[in-house]
Amino acid sequence: DAMVIQNPRYQVTQFGKPVTLSCSQTLNHNVMYWYQQKSSQAPKLLFHYYDKDFNNEADTPDNFQSRRPNTSFCFLDIRSPGLGDAAMYLCATSTAGLDTQYFGPGTRLTVL
């Protein structure tokens, strides 16, 4: 009965090689979020979608992009990963901003 699924759980990429992380949900929630979490730090919001409406955070680097082809799926694209992009990437969903977020297990990205 998984609700927010992230694939893969572990991803290794090379410096500068584009990588895509995937998130899917079975909750039919309107909002999907992507967070970056580095070791011993809090999750940092990168961007979110409300339905098809994309909302970028002001300090999210251009290197990070996202796509939401339908309600269930959302992708995080890192165009040219740097060593500083190694982190846990968390996907979350909610029905709206004033409702609980549900998190996936995360994808741990390693950049070599």
Partner 1 sequence: GESVGLHLPTLSVQEGDNSIINCAYSNSASDYFIWYKQESGKGPQFIIDIRSNMDKRQGQRVTVLLNKTVKHLSLQIAATQPGDSAVYFCAENGGGNQFYFGTGTSLTVIP
Q: Footprint of partner 1 on this chain (CB under 8 A)?
A: 4, 31, 33, 35, 40-45, 48, 50, 55, 57, 59, 90, 92, 94, 96-98, 100-106, 108
In sequence order, what are the residues at sequence separation of 6 or more whose Cβ sits closer than 8 angstroms to the Cβ of residue 112? 12, 13, 14, 15
The rounded distance, in Å, linking the Cα atoms of 7 and 22 is 5
* Closer residue to partner 1 in complex, CB, 39/70: 39
Say which residue the tokens 């998190």 belong to: 103
* Closer residue to partner 1 in complex, CB, 31/111: 31
Say which residue the tokens 């309600």 belong to: 71
Closest approach of partner 1 to the CB of residue 18, in Å: 24
- Burial of residue 83 (CB within 10 Å: 0-12, 13-18, 19+) is exposed
Closest approach of partner 1 to the CB of residue 78, in Å: 19
* Closer residue to partner 1 in complex, CB, 73/102: 102
Closest approach of partner 1 to the CB of residue 8, in Å: 14
Closest approach of partner 1 to the CB of residue 16, in Å: 27
* Closer residue to partner 1 in complex, CB, 16/97: 97
